[in-house]
C-alpha cells in the first residue's frame, strides 16, 4: 500500500457569493473554522500545501496557529483566476500522488479516512462526489459501475462534484486563468468515485445546510 505524502488545499478565493468579506476557509461552524476541520482530516499527511491569496496574512496566521509545518503557495492574481490556476501553482512543488481539497468543503472524518484508505490502495485516480444539495452544483453523471462519465451544469443528476480528488495520473495543464478543475478531467473519464455525505459552502443557503448537519 502506497503512502500519500501530499495534500493541496485551494484557499485563495474571495468567497463573494457568501457575502462575508473573508476567505471561506475562515468561516466558523460551531466554533471551528472550515480550515481547522480540514487540517484535522489531514493530520497524517506529511506535506500540506495551502494556496492563499485573498487576505493571505490572516489565513497564514490562522493556519500557523493550528499547524506549523504547512507550506503556503501564493496566488497574487486571486481576484482574476480560478481554483485550477491556484492548483497549478502548487503542483510545481509536488511529486507523486496527492489529495486535492477545495477550501470550502466540510467532510466527516470517518468518511475521509475511508477515502484515504481506498486511495492509498489504488493505482487509479478517484474523485469525491456527494448527493446534490448545493446551490451552484456541477452535476456528475454516473455509469452502473459507480464511475463518473460526465460533468454538467445543465442537466441535474443525483450527485455533484465535490471539489476533491486523489490524483495520481491526471495532469492539469491550462493557460486559461478562469478554467475549472473539472474541465481538465473530461479526457480522463470514466473516473472512479467516492461518495461522501459532505457539504460544499458557496452561498448562505449552503452554509445554513452545513450548520444543521455539523454537530
Instruction: Please give the pLDDT value at position 198.
Output: 94
pLDDT band for position 1 (50/70/90)?
A: low
Domain residue spans of the chain: 6-213
Q: What is the pLDDT of residues 65-116, one digit of tens each?
A: 999 999 999 999 999 999 999 999 999 999 999 999 999 999 999 999 999 9
The region that residue 56 occupies, defined by phi over 0 for left and psi between -120 and 50 for alpha, beta otherwise, is alpha
Environment class of 130 (CB within 10 Å of its CB; exposed 0-12, middle 13-18, buried 19+):
buried
Mean pLDDT of the chain: 95
125-162 per-position pLDDT tens digit = 999 999 999 998 999 999 999 999 999 999 999 999 99
At 49, give phi and psi (nearest 5°): -105, 125
> What does the radius of gyration of the chain's CA atoms come to, in whole angstroms?
16
Are 193 and 126 in contact by the 8 Å Cβ rule? The answer is: yes
SS3 96: coil
Q: What is the CATH number of domain 6-213?
A: 3.90.550.10
User: How far from each other are the two terminal CA atoms of the chain, in whole angstroms?
Assistant: 33
Amino acid at each position: 500500500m502506497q503512502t500519500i505524502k501530499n495534500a493541496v488545499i485551494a484557499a485563495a478565493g474571495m468567497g463573494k457569493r457568501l457575502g462575508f468579506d473573508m476567505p471561506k476557509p475562515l468561516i466558523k461552524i460551531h466554533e471551528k473554522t472550515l480550515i481547522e476541520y480540514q487540517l484535522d482530516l489531514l493530520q497524517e499527511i506529511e506535506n500540506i500545501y495551502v494556496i492563499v491569496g485573498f487576505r493571505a496574512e490572516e489565513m497564514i496566521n490562522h493556519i500557523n496557529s493550528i499547524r506549523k509545518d504547512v507550506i503556503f503557495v501564493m496566488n497574487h492574481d486571486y481576484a482574476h483566476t480560478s481554483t485550477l490556476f491556484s492548483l497549478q501553482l502548487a503542483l510545481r512543488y509536488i511529486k507523486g500522488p496527492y489529495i486535492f481539497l477545495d477550501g470550502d468543503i466540510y467532510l466527516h472524518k470517518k468518511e475521509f479516512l475511508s477515502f484515504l484508505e481506498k486511495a492509498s490502495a489504488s493505482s487509479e485516480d478517484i474523485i469525491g462526489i456527494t448527493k446534490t444539495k448545493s446551490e451552484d452544483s456541477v452535476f456528475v453523471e454516473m455509469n452502473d459501475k459507480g464511475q463518473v462519465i460526465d460533468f454538467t451544469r445543465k442537466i441535474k443528476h443525483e450527485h455533484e462534484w465535490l471539489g476533491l480528488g486523489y490524483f495520481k495520473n491526471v495532469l492539469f495543464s491550462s493557460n486559461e486563468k478562469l478554467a475549472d478543475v473539472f474541465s481538465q478531467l473530461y479526457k480522463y473519464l470514466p473516473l472512479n468515485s467516492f461518495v461522501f455525505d459532505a457539504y460544499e459552502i458557496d452561498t448562505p443557503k449552503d452554509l445554513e445546510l452545513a450548520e444543521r448537519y455539523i454537530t
